[in-house]
Amino acid sequence: MKDIILLLLREYGERISSSMIKIDLTKIKKLLNLSESQIEENFNLLSYIGILEYDKPSAFSNVQLITDRVDSRYLQVDAKKLEKTKLHRQKRLEKVVEYADTTNCRFKFILDYFGENVKYYRCGKCDNCLNKKHNSEPMINYLEEIIIKTLHENKRSLKVNRLYPVLSGKSKAVTARSFTTFGTCAHYSKQDVQQALDRLLTQKKVFIKSDLLFLNENGLSTLTDFFEEVETEDSLNGYESNLILFNELRAQRKLASTKYLQPANLICSDSILREIAEKKPDTPSKLFDIKGFSQRMFNKVGEDFLFVIKEFLKMSENQKIPNKKSVPKDLTQTISLINKGYRLEDIANIMKLPVSLVSLQIESIIEYQPDIVIEKLFDTKELRQILDKLNTSNLDIKELKAELPHNISYAKIRIMLTKKRLSEEN
């Protein structure tokens, strides 16, 4: 014990006699050549006889306050700041997950995170850029939609090994031809489809069980083309009509969700909304005929839904166009992509065709449907530059190309010239 007391005085001086100090047991053990248990025994004995006060180290993590404890009466907690800090750190964690899951250039992801908007940037060094088969975001989105639509048509499930044969059109099964998506991905490789499927699995929009691929509600809610497409003009218009009404009903449901402070799907599920959009009930009794629609739903959104449906039916009746030209069957995919707002380059990428050939298809579509909206095919700045030239001059296509910036192709100029000519004729 004498050796321990002398060592403490030599190492820590007079401070040890006036206040509690933290000592290094490992150092003391080494200097005195004693075991840990012997040191513990000596300290406990010195504490027992009153020579020193010894607090045994805890085996658990502990916190040491560096300032005086605040009286609870004066304690102030900034709840808003704590919540803000929590949300900020949660978002940062989510970004880490997004970075791990992204199929785009990883360095571009980092640049976007720090506020640098570098469209179409690729570093050429990360694993995604070095991947031999690098697919664009619009292409992956398109393939995801095709996969979801295929599962939806087959009662939300399909054998995994049947998916690519159906989409590529290589399946010899008679039932495969009943899919509206049969052969729509003939120009895509199996790896392309697999990449889109992998992302759907990561996003938990589909899942695999016992070699079967299933579509869940999360995947179904993202489906744009949720109505069966056929090749006649009336059914195509019906599909578009249903989709527009569906989105209007969803907007009305969102208002009710905010009003009643309840999740939107609790107010009325997407599956019920789809049936309402398809059947378009215009009376309370017809609305109650919709499977799953209850009195509780009617109390919250019933009258609003009926008003939206009636206004929609009235507007649709007023906008009917008789004797409209039918659209060639081989252009329906291009029309679908135009209506979804894809840019010209993205459509060419998705269809794996030259931009010049796609532009010729679009010109044909404009011939059949002069009222089709094509503005989203162009970058906003490019569209403004082309329109400015078309509205202020009567130049031919070569003269327009010479006057416009070099990045604006002949294909884009031809599309706008066709649109302008047919708009003037009609």
| pLDDT of the residue at 227 | 42
The residue extents of the domains of the chain are 2-48, 137-221, 233-318, 330-425
Dist CA 411 CA 413 (whole Å): 6
| pLDDT of the residue at 165 | 92
Q: Could you give the strand order of the β-sheet that contains 157-159, starting from the edge strand earlier in sequence?
A: 157-159, 212-215, 206-209
Class of domain 233-318: mainly alpha
Name the one residue in this structure whose structure tokens are 């578009």: 240
| pLDDT of the residue at 131 | 62
| pLDDT of the residue at 163 | 92
**Contact of 138 with 349, CB cutoff 8 Å:** yes
**Contact of 264 with 253, CB cutoff 8 Å:** yes
| pLDDT of the residue at 190 | 85
- Are both 137-221 and 233-318 of the same fold? no
May I ask the CATH architecture of the domain 137-221?
Orthogonal Bundle (1.10)
pLDDT block averages, 10 residues each, the chain of length 426 = 84 81 84 86 85 77 75 83 91 88 84 75 73 63 86 84 90 84 82 86 87 83 50 46 75 86 84 86 88 88 89 71 45 82 85 80 80 88 89 81 86 88 72
| pLDDT of the residue at 229 | 40
**Contact of 100 with 127, CB cutoff 8 Å:** no
| pLDDT of the residue at 210 | 83
pTM: 0.40
Name the one residue in this structure whose structure tokens are 């744009």: 224
Tell whether domain 330-425 is in CATH 1.10.10.10.
no
| pLDDT of the residue at 377 | 92
| pLDDT of the residue at 120 | 56
| pLDDT of the residue at 223 | 63
> Can you read off the two tokens belonging to residue 236?
């195509």
